[in-house]
Each structure stands twice: as structure tokens, then as C-alpha cells.
């Protein structure tokens, strides 16, 4: 039976003259399932007026208001070439312009996902939302420069973007788990006193996050446990090598190898997660999401909304991906100027970058929570965190490996502890299967506390210079800071040589 917008109810649609239709399965057979009629547009091809109308209205009211930020996109491009000597202004324009660009990418991903089976569609939507993050990490690692690669012969920290990548990885997880989930609980609790969610999503998600945190923690724990056992080579300071097989360089090489192998294992774990969800299309995951969507308070309004055609969805994805990539390149180009202006590395990576790259996903999840679709909202909070930990972070390590750049998973202990504690706090709130506005407010407060601490946390070159590392890598060995225990050991070795 035709709907008001021309869609046809039912799950079997007639082929068009070219053999394609809006419900044509785009996935392998084991991923194919029941495609809901709300993914149909009732049109074919590309229609400019409908395309811009659908783009403007977006998926919800907040996303619609975000579209008013589109003027910042051309301004960022103009300023990049016309005012290249104003890096902070370029960064600000590109940062704001990223929000509508990422929003379009997220919305196009939603439209594409609605043409898929329920569980597969949700996974695809989450993946499109994470494309911004993947592009950011790849741009950062490509722009990273080792000391020997810097043409201007700058100091040891200039061009070193690996600490920012590491902070952005953990910041992305924290932003999803604390800020986004907290806001979902809060706005959902304002409309309904208590929201109940299914244990299948919360328990599976929290379990995977703990496994991911364990994988990310191992290289950092390995480094912290053994950094005090390394000795300085004779070539660096002129002292005799006590353990010539375990120098700081050896430890760094081992950490890199552990990170690379761990990344492969984590990607395998992510593949298992995808396979589990893909084969769950007729089991509990499918039923939970289907039941949740039937309880959507704005379901009738969503079904009446105009949709992209398949062609328009492709056009929106191509345009948004191109703009996102361009603006991220502009952002990364200005990072050093932003850091020199007084913004700490850790705050930039842990807070600022994850906020803008996750903006579209957060708006979608918060809107779903407000509409009472708490299980889907929870999926949109936990899903990106799982993908960041199990796929995006390992992927950038492997890309660095291919580019011969030492990207590893040796995070600051301060940050890895924050992530582990964040996962435990969220897991405790998910345990009872219910949420309210107070729990949401508490999660947001925890995130604000972390943001404050990250602002005052010293840059990596200060925070991780533990004596040996600082001595081994300092550009000027006459001006270094070491702890007293290490100084006594060095003096004792000097006396033995005398």
C-alpha cells in the first residue's frame, strides 16, 4: 500500500527498467535481512531541489540548526589561501566548518543505513560516523615528521604529532562514553523519568570495551614496568654499558613491535564483533532495535520525512567526505601554531579534536535518546568507542608501520587510567539496565573534570622524560633534568671508571 510520500509498504519491491530498486541488497548474503520500508524514497536518480531540501531538514531539529554553520566551510577555504599568515583564524574556521560537514556525512550514512537490514544498517551508520576519525588519524600520521625528516631543523617537538594522535584515540573513547552517553541519559531522563535498555547491548558493549582497554593498556604497562631497567649506551654519555642488550632504544623498539602485533589482534577482535552482529540479524540484537524503533516517540514524523534516493545518498557521501578530508588537512596544518599559542597537546588531542570529529554522531545519539530510542542511542555511544579501540587505533598503527613511522600504543599512564576508570564507571551505570537524568549529569561532570585536568597536564616531552629517556633523546645533554636516584647511579659509574 502506498504511503504519503510514494513509498511502497512491504519488503518485496518491483525492479525498475535497469534492474535496480531502492531495496536492492547491497550486502553479502549472510548480511542480508529484512529491509524496512522507511528507507525508501519513492524516487529515483538525482533531483537538486529535493536533494537540498532533504539536506537542510536533516534527521532532527538540532542537525537542522547545524546547517546554518555551512558558511564557515567556504570561509575556511578562502582564509587558508588568502590569510595564510593567520593560523589560529584558519584553525577556528576549519574547526567550526567541520561540524556541518561531519553532520552531512553522518546524515548521509543514516540514509544509506536505512536501506539496509536493521543491525547491518546500524553498524554501517556507525562506520560512516567513524570515517571522520579515521581520516583525522591518517592525516595526522602522514603529517608526522621524525627529527631527521624536518627540513627546518626545528626543535625535537616540532612536527611530532604522535602524542596528539594517542591523546585523540583515548579522547574519542572518553567523549563517547562520558559526554555523549551522559547527555543521552540526561536528555532522555528529562522526557521520561527512567529509561530501560536491553542487557544484550550494554553487556556486550561493555565487555568488548574492557577487552579493548586491556589491549591498549599492555604496551603502556610494559613500558612503565621496564623503563627503569634500561641503561644508557656509551655513545650517548660516555658511560660503560651495564646491560648492553636492554638500552632505551631496545625498549622503544620492543614497544613498537608489541603495538604492531597487538593492533593486528585487536582488528581480528573487531572482525569477530562485526561477524557476531551481522549474524544476529534475526536474533536478540535485531529484535531489540526493532522494538526500540517501534517505541520511537517521533516515529510517524520520521516516516513522513523525505528521503534521499540511492544516487543522492552517494552524492552526499562523496561531497561530505571531500569536505571533511579538506578541512581536517587544514586543521592538522595549524596544530603546531595552536599549541604554540598556549593550548596544551593533551587538551587538544583529548578534548578539542574528539569533540568536533564526533559532533554528528553525538547529535544523532542524543536525538534518539530524547525520542525514547535508548537502545539505539546506547548502540551509537558504545559502537563508535568499540570501533575506535578495536579498529581505528590499530589501523593508524598499521598505517604508521607501512609509512615507516613509529606510531605505537604506548599511551600516557595518566590517560590510560582515565579510560579504564571511565569504562568501569559506565559499566557500573549500565549494570541495572536503567538510566535517569542524574546518572547522565554525573557522567558529564566526570568528563568536565577530565577536561580540566588535561588542560594542566604537561606536554608529553615533559611528562614522559623520566631521566633515561630524557638523557637519551635530549638535543643538549648539558641541559637535562633527571631524578636523584639516577644521578647517584651515574656518579657511581663515573667513579668506577675513574
Q: In whole angstroms, what is the distance from residue 468 CA to residue 181 CA? A: 41
β-bridge pairing 434-435 and 195-196: antiparallel
**CA-angle at 367, arms to 377 and 364, nearest 5°:** 65
Say how many C-beta atoms besides its own lie within 10 A of residue 149's C-beta. Answer: 9
* Residue found by looking up cell 576508570 in the block: 421
Q: What is the pLDDT of residue 204?
A: 76
Neighbours of 485 (CB within 10 A): 10
Describe the crossing of helices 310-333 and 48-57 by its angle, rounded to 10 degrees: 60
What distance in Å separates the CA atoms of residue 290 and residue 86, rounded to the nearest whole number? Answer: 50
Per-residue pLDDT of the chain (498 residues; tens, 9 = 90+): 444 444 444 444 444 444 444 444 444 444 444 444 454 555 666 777 878 888 877 766 777 888 889 999 999 999 999 988 899 999 999 999 999 998 888 888 878 877 666 556 666 766 777 788 999 999 999 988 876 665 555 554 567 889 999 999 999 999 999 999 999 999 999 888 888 887 777 777 778 888 888 888 889 888 888 877 665 554 444 544 444 466 778 888 899 999 999 999 999 988 888 777 766 554 555 666 666 665 555 655 666 567 788 788 888 889 999 999 999 999 999 998 998 888 888 899 999 999 988 887 788 888 888 888 888 888 888 888 888 999 999 999 999 999 999 999 999 888 888 998 998 899 888 888 888 999 999 999 999 999 999 999 887 654 443 334 444 444 444 444 455 566 666 666 666 655
3-state SS string for the chain? CECCCCCECCCCCCCCCCCCCCCCCCCCHHHCCCECHHHCCCCCCCCHHHHHHHHHHCCCHHHHHHHHHCCHHHHHHHHHHHCCCCHHHHHHHHHHHHHHHHHHHHHHHHHHHCCCEHHHHHHHHHHHHHHHHHHHHHHHHHHCCCHHHCCCCCCCCCCCCHHHHHHHHHHHHHHHHHHHHHHHHHHHHHHCCCEECCHHHHHHHHHHHHHHHHHHHHHHHHHHHHHHHCCCCHHHHCCCCCCCCCCHHHHHHHHHHHHHHHHHHHHHHHHHHHHHHHCCCCCHHHHHHHHHHHCCCCHHHHHHCCCCCHHHHHHHHHHHHHHHHHHHHHHHHCHHHHHHCCCCHHHHHHHHHHHHHCHHHHHHHHHHHHCCCHHHHHHHHHHHHHHHHHHHHHHHHHHHHHCCCCCCCCCCHHHHHHHHHHHHHHHHHHCCCEECHHHHHHHHHHHHHHHHHHHHCCCHHHHCCCCHHHHHHCCCCCCCCCCHHHHHHHHHHHHHHC
Backbone angles phi, psi at 327, to 5 degrees: -70, -35
* Dist. CA 180–CA 486, nearest whole Å: 44
Q: Can you tell me the distance from the alpha carbon of 328 to that of 331, in angstroms, rounded to the nearest whole number?
A: 5
Helix axes 374-387, 181-191, angle to 10 degrees: 180
Looking at residue 296, what is its pLDDT? 57
Within 10 angstroms of residue 434's Cβ, the number of other Cβ atoms is: 15
Amino acid at each position: 500500500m502506498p504511503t504519503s510520500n510514494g513509498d511502497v509498504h512491504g519488503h518485496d519491491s518491483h525492479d525498475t527498467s535497469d534492474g535496480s530498486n531502492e531495496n536492492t541488497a547491497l550486502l553479502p548474503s549472510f548480511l542480508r535481512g529484512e529491509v524496512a520500508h522507511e528507507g525508501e524514497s519513492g524516487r529515483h536518480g538525482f533531483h537538486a531541489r529535493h536533494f537540498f531540501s532533504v539536506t537542510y531538514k536533516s534527521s532532527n531539529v538540532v542537525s537542522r540548526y547545524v546547517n546554518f554553520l555551512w558558511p564557515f566551510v567556504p570561509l575556511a577555504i578562502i582564509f587558508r589561501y588568502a590569510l595564510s599568515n593567520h593560523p589560529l583564524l584558519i584553525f577556528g574556521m576549519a574547526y567550526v566548518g567541520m561540524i556541518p560537514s561531519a553532520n552531512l556525512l553522518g546524515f548521509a550514512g543514516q540514509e544509506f543505513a536505512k536501506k539496509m537490514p536493521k543491525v547491518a544498517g546500524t553498524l554501517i551508520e556507525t562506520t560512516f560516523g567513524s570515517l571522520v576519525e579515521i581520516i583525522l588519524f591518517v592525516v595526522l600520521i602522514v603529517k608526522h615528521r621524525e627529527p631527521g625528516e624536518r627540513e627546518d631543523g626545528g626543535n625535537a617537538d616540532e612536527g611530532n604529532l604522535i602524542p596528539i594522535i594517542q591523546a585523540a584515540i583515548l579522547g574519542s573513547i572518553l567523549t563517547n562514553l562520558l559526554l555523549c552517553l551522559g547527555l543521552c541519559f540526561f536528555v532522555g531522563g528529562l522526557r521520561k523519568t527512567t529509561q530501560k535498555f536491553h542487557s544484550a547491548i550494554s553487556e556486550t558493549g561493555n565487555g568488548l570495551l574492557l577487552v579493548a582497554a586491556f589491549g591498549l593498556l599492555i604496551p603502556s604497562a610494559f613500558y612503565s614496568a621496564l623503563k627503569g631497567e634500561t641503561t644508557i649506551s656509551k655513545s650517548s654519555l660516555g658511560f660503560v654499558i651495564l646491560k648492553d642488550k636492554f638500552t632505551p632504544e631496545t625498549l622503544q623498539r620492543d614497544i613498537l613491535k608489541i603495538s604492531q602485533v597487538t593492533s593486528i589482534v585487536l582488528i581480528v577482535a573487531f572482525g569477530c564483533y562485526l561477524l557476531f552482529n551481522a549474524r544476529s540479524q534475526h536474533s536478540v540484537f535485531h529484535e531489540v532495535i526493532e522494538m526500540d524503533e517501534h517505541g520511537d516517540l517521533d516515529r510517524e514524523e520520521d516516516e513522513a520525512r523525505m528521503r534521499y534516493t540511492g544516487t543522492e545518498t552517494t552524492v552526499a557521501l562523496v561531497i561530505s567526505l571531500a569536505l571533511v578530508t579538506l578541512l581536517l588537512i587544514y586543521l592538522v596544518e595549524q596544530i603546531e601554531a595552536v599549541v604554540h599559542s598556549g593550548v596544551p597537546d593533551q587538551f587538544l588531542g583529548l578534548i578539542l579534536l574528539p569533540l568536533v570529529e564526533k559532533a554528528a554522531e553525538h547529535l544523532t545519539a542524543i536525538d534518539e535518546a530524547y525520542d525514547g530510542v535508548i537502545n539505539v542511542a546506547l548502540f551509537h555511544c558504545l559502537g563508535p568507542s568499540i570501533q575506535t579501540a578495536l579498529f581505528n587505533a590499530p589501523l593508524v598503527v598499521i598505517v604508521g608501520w607501512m609509512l615507516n613511522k613509529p606510531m605505537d600504543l604506548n599511551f600516557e599512564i595518566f590517560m590510560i587510567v582515565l579510560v579504564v576508570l571511565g569504562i568501569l564507571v559506565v559499566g557500573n551505570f549500565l549494570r541495572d539496565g536503567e538510566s535517569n537524568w542524574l546518572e547522565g549529569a554525573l557522567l558529564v561532570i566526570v568528563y568536565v573534570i577530565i577536561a580540566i585536568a588535561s588542560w594542566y597536564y604537561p606536554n608529553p616531552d615533559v611528562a614522559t622524560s623520566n631521566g633515561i629517556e630524557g638523557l637519551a633523546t635530549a638535543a643538549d645533554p648539558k641541559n637535562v633534568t633527571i631524578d636523584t636516584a639516577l644521578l647517584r647511579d651515574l656518579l657511581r659509574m663515573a667513579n668506577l671508571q675513574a
